[in-house]
Amino acid sequence: MKTYVIDVQRCSIHDGPGIRTTVFLKGCPLSCKWCHNPESQSFQKELSFQEALCVNCGLCEKVCLSKVHSITENKHTLDYRKCIQCGECEKACNSKALTMIGRDLTPQEVFEVVRKDMVFYDQSGGGLTISGGEALSHVNFSLQLLKLCKEQDIPTCMETSGYGSITAVDKILPYVDLFLFDYKVSSEEDAKEYIGGSLECILDSFNYIYEQGKNIILRCPIIPFVNDNKRHFEAIAELAITYPNILSIELLPYHNFGISKGRNIGKDIECYAIPKDEDKLEWLSFFYTRGINKVHLT
């Protein structure tokens, strides 16, 4: 059993409590317009080109039979549509400007990396975090990796949008200690326009996970002119009231790191305004004045 893995990031401190090893799986059924990790959307390997590292040596152009690369007048251009993910250009690129995103790995291969940091998990309360893409779209891979961790008493966490079947959720539920649940929009219209999915499906998954008594941290990316409005904040507040056992609610201010990463793989990611500090304080004030004190900025 294999799936494409973007990265196995050791010593992470942003994907759950303590020191963690975060596994980024490749492939997501959603297509958020502001996506911070556009390289995680496709379920296939992808060619990434970092122009700043390119020395225009022309070796990639020589080895690529698909004619993806063209270097004229010291300008390197790519036709990503022609790429067959053979990886020959990556091998030829001495400057590391070209990389193939996505390694075909088994759960056991990933676990061999995860287990190396068990001493740090024990000392910090950390563990494994499976992220994406969307982990529910890789449910059998995720299930086997989670089982391997639980056999060694490694705490587990899953970051998910909830965009998957209840059957998929049910498979992994007994092996996940903590869910980092992304809540991005609060209407079906916005779900269709901005994330390319169904809010009903997401809320069904959230409700099911909660009703099974699992630990949940609600993560809410706040995107200017998309969801930084009273209607969305009221929806978040309603979730906090309706589901009082949510551990905490994290507000994640928009950043534009995804734009350059999208450009590297030939994708256009929309750009939004960077929230100001005073905007973030207003977000918190909205919740604190309503007595909802488990909201934090991350």
| Residue 96 belongs to domain with CATH number | 3.30.70.20
Last residue of a domain, one of 66, 84, 101: 101
Residues 3-20 as b/e (b if ≥16 CB within 10 A, e otherwise) read bbbbbbbeebeebbbbbb
User: What's the rounded mean pLDDT across residues 61-88?
Assistant: 96
Tell me, yes or no, whether 82 and 159 share the same domain: no
Are residue 57 and residue 15 in the same domain, yes or no? no
Q: Are residues 74 and 86 in the same domain?
A: yes
Q: What digits encode the pLDDT tens for the residues 142-191?
A: 999 999 999 999 999 999 999 999 999 999 999 999 999 999 999 999 99
Please state the domain count of the chain. Answer: 2
Is residue 223 located within the same domain as residue 174?
yes
| Residue 225, Cβ density class (10 Å: 0-12 exposed, 13-18 middle, ≥19 buried) | exposed
> Got the DSSP string for 94-134?
TTS-EEEE-EEE-HHHHHHHHGGGHHHHHHHT-EEEEESS-
d(C-alpha 2, C-alpha 95), whole Å: 30
232 and 207 inside one domain: yes
Confidence of residue 287 (pLDDT cuts 50, 70, 90): very high
The percent of residues above 70 in pLDDT, for the chain, comes to 100
| 74 plus 191 within the same structural domain | no
The torsion angles phi and psi of 99, rounded to 5 degrees, stand at: -140, 150
Domain that holds residue 255: 3-43+103-297
> What pLDDT was estimated at residue 65?
96
Q: Do 72 and 211 reside in the same domain of the chain?
A: no
Same domain? 120 vs 216: yes
Query: Minimal CA–CA distance to 36: which of 279, 240, 231, 298?
Result: 298
Asked whether residue 66 falls in the same domain as residue 208, the answer is: no
- Whether residues 75 and 187 share a domain: the answer is no
Mean pLDDT of the chain: 97
CB 23 within 8 A of CB 145: yes
Residue at which a domain ends, from 101, 128, 148: 101
- Residues 235-266 have pLDDT tens digits of 999 999 999 999 999 999 999 999 999 999 99
Looking at the structure, tell me whether residues 17 and 77 fall in a common domain.
Answer: no
**80 and 168 co-located in one domain:** no
Could you give the CA distance from residue 7 to residue 146 in angstroms, rounded to a whole number?
17
Q: List the Cα angle 23/24/28 in 5-degree steps.
A: 140
What is residue 1's predicted lDDT score, i.e. its pLDDT? 82
CATH number of the domain where residue 122 is located: 3.20.20.70
Of 146, 143, 138, 142, nearest in space to 163 by CA: 138
Q: Can you give the pLDDT at residue 140?
A: 97
